[in-house]
Amino acid sequence: MLVGTGGTATAELLAGLTPLQRRAVETMSSTVCVLASAGSGKTRVLTRRIAYRALTGSAKPEHTLALTFTKKAAGELAERLAGLGLAEGVNAGTFHSLAWHQLRRWWADRRTPQPALLQSKARLVGELASGRGGLEGVATSDLAAAVEWAKARLVPPGELAASAHEANRELPAEAEAVAALYARYEDEKRRRRLVDFEDLLARYADALSSDSRFAAAQRWRWAHVFVDEVQDVNPLQCRVLLGLLAGNDDLFVVGDPNQAIYGWNGADARFLTEFPLRFPDAEVVRLDDNHRSSPQVVAAATAVLGRQSAGPVRSSRPDGPLPTLRCFANELAEAAGIAAEIREAASQGLGWADMAVLARTNAQLVTVMEALVKAGVPCRARAPAEDAAPDAPDGRPQGAGRANVEGEPHEDDPGLGWGNLGWANTVTLCSFHRAKGLQWQAVWVCGLETGFVPIAYASSPGSLAEERRLLYVALTRAERRLHCSWSNERRAASGAVLRRNPSPWLAVLAPHCSGTRAGDDVASPAEAISLAPSGRDRSFAGFLAMARGRLAPAPGASSPGASSPEASSPEASAAVADELRQWRGRLARASGVPPHVLLHDSTLLALARSKPKSTEELLAVPGLGPVKVARFGPQILAVVSEAMAGDGREPRGREPSLLARSGAQ
């Protein structure tokens, strides 16, 4: 594109940019932070900023480094830069690929034997965990994910327990056992001369801080640094970035706090949100116009964010239809309804590739795919290798997913073994996480139920906020048509039919959606509430508002079941916690799994404080989804009732209570 010279080439480069986009591209400031909302053209701005500086001579392409988080994203950056006349010179890659290539040179210059790159963290972790006490029955992927999270957050084995508690990170087993495994893992890597992907970043950062000649050469080589999706930076990557910069202020970052959805994998959006504090002289440019989605889609999506929205988001697109919100009798009816709507959209001229079905978990999409195949709809599931999580040097996605517990949903199921029914023109099915960075004209977001949205194990304020942002990401994948749905019933992996509640965030989404269309297999929102556990409030809006209130109780509000000062006393809570802990221990020993797999400490504490008396109140406890309530609910209620009936006696356990050990008041 940079075919002209001087003003002609500059005019071509800036053509089509909005005034704010032009400001981000043309600014004379050395340090720039662009806060770019979904669909605001952030990659367009980033690549044109690089090209503009090359064109004006303020940056040399061969000294320019563009960092992102996936191999796919790096490839897209390179393609766009090539289209702007920068096919050579600019280095666009991931943090891991940068560290790997530069370390290989460093090792060669020092004549140091190059360690072998560990391709599978889970394989070594599984080998070390086998037969170890406290780790029986724990999924290897969960253990590998815990180690990876700790390393990304710069947490050594000795500080794992405290750091996980502070971050409200649920560990897959007792903290001491996981920390011991983590230490053995590090020792074994050293013994075998292996490095994992986090080691690449750590060793690169170490080299930058300890070898002044190497550091000087790196900082000269990469004089102009650009970072895309900076909200996804984790503390280890942040250390690399700051080590690479040192005193250099030539830094351009682009990110969106509203799309920070990788906290579970170690990312920390504070590098973006606190950027002006770290770089006081930085210029901050806000891109609040969504050029992808219609005003109706943008209004619905931003309503979900609520007060945590990083700023106003506007749409520059023409008006479109209102999003739809539908309730189905069960997941089979939901899948059939989606298939019928997709066929109808295709008959109206919409291409298969212009449509997608998104769900919080991969498992939810199995039924949808079966319905699409039955209806003759060509479709494909977005494979794990295409995940939007950070990539390793060879393109393998980083991050190990959580394992299912009794069929509970999670954000990153292992591959489902789905085959592709053609790639050129197919409907895409993928999880919310894997949809990030993609867009379609029409999107169906299904399974919007409590336990999925938010996910069942999200109990801390931080994890719930991230779940909101994840839903926002899913909704903003739609350009013009957005269809949302949930089911009254859903069959668990065990075969049990579970009653479902709508996601509490439908309370703020519903006012931005059109009414439910009638159908033999579809229940209206009002009719659906008659099947919900609560019988006291039959109105859809009232039910959803009540659910939202349960999820985020007002400060000072009483918890369900705490109806008297005696019931709310620390002594009563401690007694309940002790009884629950002993019950959990007995059940864990009988089941052959760690206690935390059955019921996490944070959930146990919430139960002890709220002292639920009914299934409805159990469902209001953070961390207790419908699956666990269906399986353990009667036992939990019996334990709580027994503990309250015996309040005032000495607890049977001799150890300090869980509440006391946690410092709860």
Same domain membership, residue 593 and residue 462:
no
Residue range 226-248, pLDDT digits in tens: 999 999 999 999 999 999 999 89
Residue range 265-291, pLDDT digits in tens: 899 999 999 999 999 999 999 999 999
Give the pLDDT score at 520.
32
Show the tokens assigned to 418.
Answer: 């789905």
Same domain membership, residue 347 and residue 234:
no
Computed from CA positions of residues 22, 25, 26, 31, in that sequence, does the dihedral angle turn out positive or negative? Answer: positive
Residue range 403-421, pLDDT digits in tens: 222 223 333 332 333 333 3
The answer on pLDDT for 10 being more than 70 is yes
Give the pLDDT score at 571.
58
Burial string for 445-473 (b: 16+ CB within 10 Å, else e) reads bbbbbbbbbbbbbbbbeebbbbbbbbbbb
CATH assignment at residue 634? 1.10.150.80
Q: Which is more confident, 70 or 562?
A: 70
Q: Which is more confident, 88 or 561?
A: 88
Show the tokens assigned to 4.
Answer: 């002209």
Give the pLDDT score at 540.
52
The H or E element that residue 355 is part of is: strand 355-359
Asked if the structure places residue 394 within a domain, the reply is no
The answer on pLDDT for 388 being more than 80 is no
Give the pLDDT score at 448.
96
Confidence of residue 19 (pLDDT cuts 50, 70, 90): very high
Domain stops at, among 551, 576, 609: 551
Give the pLDDT score at 564.
40
Asked if the structure places residue 560 within a domain, the reply is no
Name the domain count of the chain. 4
Q: Is 487 helix (H, G, I), strand (E, B) or coil?
A: strand
Same domain membership, residue 582 and residue 542:
no
Confidence of residue 658 (pLDDT cuts 50, 70, 90): very low
CATH assignment at residue 158? 1.10.10
Asked if the structure places residue 95 within a domain, the reply is yes
Give the pLDDT score at 146.
95
Same domain membership, residue 356 and residue 381:
yes
Asked if the structure places residue 396 within a domain, the reply is no
CA distance 280 to 172: 40
Same domain membership, residue 609 and residue 501:
no
Name the residue range of residue 452's domain: 295-388+403-551
Confidence of residue 23 (pLDDT cuts 50, 70, 90): very high
Mean pLDDT score across all residues of the chain:
82
Same domain membership, residue 429 and residue 302:
yes
Give the pLDDT score at 621.
77
Give the pLDDT score at 623.
67
CATH assignment at residue 206? 3.40.50.300
Q: What is the DSSP-derived secondary structure letter of residue 657? A: P
The answer on pLDDT for 556 being more than 80 is no
Burial string for 423-434 (b: 16+ CB within 10 Å, else e) reads eeebbbbbbbbb
CA distance 231 to 268: 7
Confidence of residue 615 (pLDDT cuts 50, 70, 90): confident
Q: Which is more confident, 293 or 654?
A: 293
Same domain membership, residue 131 and residue 53:
no
Residue range 153-184, pLDDT digits in tens: 999 999 999 999 888 888 999 999 999 999 99
Name 556's bridge partners: none
Same domain membership, residue 75 and residue 20:
yes
Same domain membership, residue 507 and residue 375:
yes
Rounded to the nearest 5 degrees, what angle is found at the Cα of 153, between the Cα atoms of 148 and 159?
90
Asked if the structure places residue 598 within a domain, the reply is yes
Q: Where are the beta strands (DSSP E) in 415-518?
A: 427-431, 440-445, 478-491, 497-499
Give the pLDDT score at 529.
31
Domain stops at, among 551, 573, 591: 551
Q: Which is more confident, 522 or 548?
A: 548
Mean pLDDT (whole number) for 208-215: 96
Asked if the structure places residue 615 within a domain, the reply is yes
DSSP string covering 367-391: HHHHHHHHTT--EEEPPGGG-SSPB
Same domain membership, residue 125 and residue 88:
no
Same domain membership, residue 282 and residue 143:
no
Give the pLDDT score at 424.
67
Give the pLDDT score at 566.
40
Residue range 53-64, pLDDT digits in tens: 999 999 999 999
Give the pLDDT score at 592.
63
CA distance 95 to 73: 12
Domain stops at, among 192, 221, 251: 192
Same domain membership, residue 481 and residue 447:
yes
Give the pLDDT score at 311.
76
Asked if the structure places residue 40 within a domain, the reply is yes
Give the pLDDT score at 257.
94
Asked if the structure places residue 1 within a domain, the reply is no
3-state secondary structure 147-200: HHHHHHCCCCHHHHHHHHHHCCCCCCCCHHHHHHHHHHHHHHHHHHCEECHHHH
